[in-house]
């Protein structure tokens, strides 16, 4: 499935909306678990790749010992700037970096963690090989990836609603990229092709996605992700209308007050 260049663009107001609306909706429910798994290993140096606006970074900063160094990277400077503005409870080194060409020496980290970023890597095996390269022997590579879009109810409803706005050319970013890497056999194969000799441990974990109103997930997805790039490429004047129609679809499915939908992801861990 081809991925347009716009799938990787998180710019303008997108990082702010992403942090305000999307992070509590779908990222917070998994961030704590990843941070706890890393903290249980008592690492001395941790690298986060594709850190976004820092939801996992903040959890790592709060849960890891003071002496543990944390380096958080992302390809998009706008996302890292938003993360810096939100801040962490203790110092973190923020770096703009491509996960496929990490600017770090070999065997430099005890753990490499990535929350919902691997789906964006054009060459996943290459990125996994880079994670392996910078890990010390016995180090942990931990990441997660969304399951198929049908298992993630709010996102699925919004995506279907947008197809009614642009029926000739529906915006499919969410299905194509965030939810396009859900085959666990393909994930395991890519990890092995990245040079890991140990088998990846993969668990599928369901959580709940909650929001105060139907409009909240509509804004999150239509305006806080590259779905916005797709909408505006079709007709920039219809962004508000598309958001309204998505909110109405969520309300029809989940009610007009607070909403609660299923989300599901795969959590993957493998040792160097």
Which 3 state secondary structure label does DSSP give 133?
Answer: helix
Which among 119, 144, 115, 146 has a CA at the least distance from the CA of 209? 146
Helix, coil or strand: residue 135: strand
Query: CA-to-CA distance for 64 and 51, rounded, in angstroms?
Result: 16
Asked if 28 contacts 116 with a C-beta cutoff of 8 angstroms, the reply is no
- The DSSP letter of residue 115 is E
**Spatial contact of 211 and 259, defined as CB atoms under 8 Å apart:** yes
Q: What is the CATH number of domain 5-271?
A: 3.40.50.150
pLDDT value of residue 10: 72
CA-nearest of 249, 235, 243 to 218 is: 243
Full pLDDT tens readout for the chain, 272 residues: 455 665 555 767 889 999 999 999 999 999 999 999 999 999 999 999 999 999 999 999 999 999 999 999 999 999 999 999 999 999 999 999 999 999 999 999 999 999 999 999 999 999 999 999 999 999 999 999 999 999 999 999 999 999 999 999 999 999 999 999 999 999 999 999 999 999 999 999 999 999 999 999 999 999 999 999 999 999 999 999 999 999 999 999 999 999 999 999 999 999 99
Among candidate residues 8, 4, 2, 3, the one with its CA nearest the CA of residue 226: 8
* Residue 233 in tokens: 């490429």
Of 87, 82, 113, 78, the C-alpha closest to 99 is: 113
CB 154, CB 259: distance < 8 Å: yes
Q: How far apart (Å, rounded) are the C-alpha atoms in residues 244 and 6? A: 23
Domain spans of the chain, in order of start: 5-271
Question: Could you give the C-alpha distances from 49 to 18, 206, 225, 268, 271, in angstroms and in order?
Answer: 17, 23, 18, 15, 17
For residue 120, give the nearest of 140, 99, 103, 106 by alpha carbon.
99
Separation CA 47–CA 139 (nearest Å): 11
Main-chain dihedrals φ then ψ at residue 183, nearest 5 degrees: -80, 110
Supply 138's token pair: 């016995």
pTM of the predicted model, to two decimals?
A: 0.94
């Amino acid at each position: 499935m081809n991925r347009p260049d716009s799938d990787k663009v998180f710019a303008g107001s997108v990082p702010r909306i992403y942090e305000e609306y999307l992070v509590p909706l779908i990222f917070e429910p998994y961030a704590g678990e990843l941070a706890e798994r890393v903290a249980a290993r008592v690492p001395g140096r941790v690298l986060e790749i594709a850190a976004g606006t820092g939801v996992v970074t903040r959890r790592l900063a709060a849960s890891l010992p003071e002496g543990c160094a944390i380096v958080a990277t992302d390809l998009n400077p706008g996302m890292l700037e938003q993360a810096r503005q939100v801040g962490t409870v203790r110092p973190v080194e923020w770096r703009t970096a491509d996960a496929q060409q990490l600017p770090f020496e070999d065997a430099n980290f005890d753990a490499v963690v990535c929350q919902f970023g691997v789906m964006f890597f054009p060459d996943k095996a290459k990125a996994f090989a880079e994670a392996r390269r910078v890990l010390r022997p016995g180090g942990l590579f931990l990441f997660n990836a969304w399951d198929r879009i049908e298992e993630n109810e709010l996102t699925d409803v919004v995506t279907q609603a947008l197809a009614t706005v642009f029926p000739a050319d529906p915006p499919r970013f969410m299905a194509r990229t965030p939810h396009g890497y859900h085959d666990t056999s393909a994930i395991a194969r890519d990890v092995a092709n990245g040079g890991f000799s140990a088998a990846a441990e993969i668990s599928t974990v369901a959580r709940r996605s909650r929001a105060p109103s139907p409009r909240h997930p509509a804004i999150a997805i239509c305006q806080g992700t590259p779905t916005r790039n797709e909408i505006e490429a079709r007709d920039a004047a219809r962004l508000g209308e598309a958001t309204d129609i998505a909110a109405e679809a969520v309300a029809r499915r989940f009610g007009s007050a607070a909403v609660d939908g299923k989300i599901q992801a795969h959590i993957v861990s493998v040792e160097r």
